[in-house]
Amino acid sequence: MARKGPVATDTSTVAVGLAQIRVGVSATHIADIQPALASSDSIGAMANTKWLGNTDWYKLGSGMPLIEDYTVPIREAAALECAFKEITPANLAVAFGHDPASEPYASMEVHSGEIPLGGRVAPDYVRMEARYTFPNGTNYMDIIFPRAQVSANPEMDFTAEDAAAVAITFESKNASSDVSGGNAVWDEKPLGRIFFS
C-alpha cells in the first residue's frame, strides 16, 4: 500500500543537530566567498543555533474593497542567533562586540584574561561562518556572513544542573563594494550566502 502525505524524498537533506559557529577577522577574508574559517576558529559547544532571514514587505492594494496586487521587499536582514556554553575570555569578547582576534583578546588563555565592563562602543566587524553537518556526515551547509556585528545583552545564568549558555546574535551587514571594508565579490549577495556542499 502506498504511503500518503508528505513522504520523505531524500533523507540526506533532513537537518538534526546544531551548527558549529566559527568567528574570524572580516577584513582578512572579505574577498573569499568560499568557507574560509577552520574548526579551530569555532567558539565551541553550543546550546542552540538559529538562522533568521527577516524581510519587511510592501503590499500594494487597489480598488474598493482593497485587493492586493503586488508585493515587494523593502528591507532585508540576515542574522544568526546562538548561545555558547564555553565561557572563555575570547567568547565573552565576542559577546561584548569585540573581535576575538584583536588584542588583548587574541593573546588571552582559556582561563586567563579580562573583559572590561562599561564604555561599550560600536561592535567590531567579524566574519561569521555557521557550518552545519548533515546527519549523514558527508553533506554540509555553510552560512557565511562576511561582515557581521554581534548584538547582545550578555547574561550568564548559572544553574545547578545545566551548563550556562550566553546568547548572542550575529547580524550580517552590507559586505558589497558599496561600503568601506566590503568587496565586489559580495555585490550580488551583500549580506553573505548559504552554501551547500
Helix (H, G, I), strand (E, B) or coil at 47: strand
Ramachandran class of 155: left when φ > 0, alpha when ψ lies in -120 to 50, beta otherwise: beta
**Percent of the chain clearing pLDDT 70 (strictly above):** 99
* Alpha-helical runs (H) found in 52-184: 89-95
CATH fold label, 15-196: Pnp Oxidase; Chain A (2.30.110)
At 102-147, the pLDDT tens digits run 888 888 888 888 888 998 899 999 999 999 999 999 999 999 999 9
Between 139 and 6, name the one with better pLDDT.
Answer: 139
* Residue 81 pLDDT class (50, 70, 90 cuts): very high
- C-alpha dihedral sign at 110, 142, 185, 54: negative
Between 79 and 6, name the one with better pLDDT.
Answer: 79
Asked if pLDDT for residue 1 goes beyond 70, the answer is no
Could you report how far apart the first and last alpha carbons of the chain are, in Å? 35
* Residue 62 pLDDT class (50, 70, 90 cuts): very high
At 157-167, the pLDDT tens digits run 999 999 999 99
Distances (CA, A) of 58 to 44, 54, 71, 111: 40, 14, 6, 50
Model-wide pTM > 0.85? yes
E strand map for the chain: 20-25, 46-52, 55-62, 67-76, 79-84, 126-133, 140-151, 166-172, 193-196
State how far Cα 172 lies from the chain centre.
Answer: 7
**pLDDT of res. 109:** 86
At 14-54, the pLDDT tens digits run 899 999 999 999 999 999 999 999 999 999 999 999 999 99
* Residue 101 pLDDT class (50, 70, 90 cuts): confident
Question: Could you state, in order of their start, the residue ranges of all structural domains in the chain?
Answer: 15-196
**pLDDT of res. 107:** 87
Average pLDDT over residues 65-87: 96
pLDDT mean across residues, the chain: 94
C-alpha cell at 166: 550566553
Residue 140: is it exposed, middle or buried by C-beta count within 10 angstroms (0-12/13-18/19+)? Answer: middle
Asked if pLDDT for residue 79 goes beyond 80, the answer is yes
**pLDDT of res. 172:** 98
Phi, psi of 26 (to 5 degrees): -60, -50
